Amino acid sequence: MSRKAIFGAAIPIVAILLATASFVVFEPIQVLPRIRLAPGFSLIDQHGESLTSEDLRGSVTLYTFGYSRCGAPCDRLNATVSEIMDRLDEVDMDPETEIRFVTISFDPDTDTPERLDAYAEEIGADGDRWVLATARPGHVENVVKAGFKTWFERRDDGTFSYDPALVLVDGWGVVRGEYRYQTQTSDADRIVRHLDVLAEEIRNAHGAAALAYEAAHLFLCYP
């Protein structure tokens, strides 16, 4: 009788401890790391319009880097972006949060808005969800190299060697993912999965975190 009672009292306690331990061990809530601050920037897009980091605050954005004369070497990267765009129905994103794709050209001398627009058509960038843009020469170096921590270098023949990276930035302007190597799972698979993890985090955002989305315009010093 007394033994039964002790068991009766012990079972719920053991259950609580086990649940806590399993939570710590298995981490059922998956969160992407907050790798670093994404750069602030002011670009000119394929329509000749300004595109700034503040315009993208509140949206989840996947950045890639390239240039219109790139040709075949950029194909795989562009195909990855296209594949992710086609699979966005797998991501349960809050309807208020847009998923955007921005390809930054590090060849501003050649890539005028007209050239970017023509290149966009070639690779299937619609100019709305997926935008091509560049910046004035000094700024583009700061954004791509110092800001996004990737690299490019002009070769003697005018082509570029560059880092085929994809960088995922959340609506608060924080880098949440960097993708460089094709592993067993493709980059597209991983990125789609990570977008879904981010979507869950955004749905659960509250307090100051939610404020960053709601009051994005207040971050600016308006006249």
Residues lying near another protein in the complex (CB under 8 A) are found at 1-2, 5-6, 8-10, 12-13, 16-17, 20, 33-42, 50, 52-54, 138-139, 142-143, 146-147, 172-174, 207-209, 211-212, 215, 218-223
Burial of 84 (0-12, 13-18, 19+ CB in 10 A): buried
Q: Which is nearer to another protein, 79 or 220 (CB)?
A: 220
CA-based nearest residue to 180, from 148, 204, 134: 148
Nearest approach in angstroms of CB 208 to another protein is 5
The tokens of 82 are what?
A: 């296209």
CA-based nearest residue to 60, from 195, 219, 207: 195
Nearest approach in angstroms of CB 69 to another protein is 25
Q: Which is nearer to another protein, 43 or 84 (CB)?
A: 43
Nearest approach in angstroms of CB 200 to another protein is 17
Q: CA 112 to CA 125: how far, in whole Å? A: 16
Q: Which is nearer to another protein, 4 or 155 (CB)?
A: 4
Q: Which is nearer to another protein, 43 or 70 (CB)?
A: 43
Q: Which is nearer to another protein, 34 or 180 (CB)?
A: 34
Nearest approach in angstroms of CB 138 to another protein is 6
* Residues contacting 97, CB < 8 A, separation 6+: 58, 59, 60, 171, 199, 202, 213
Nearest approach in angstroms of CB 212 to another protein is 6
Q: CA 132 to CA 8: how far, in whole Å? A: 65
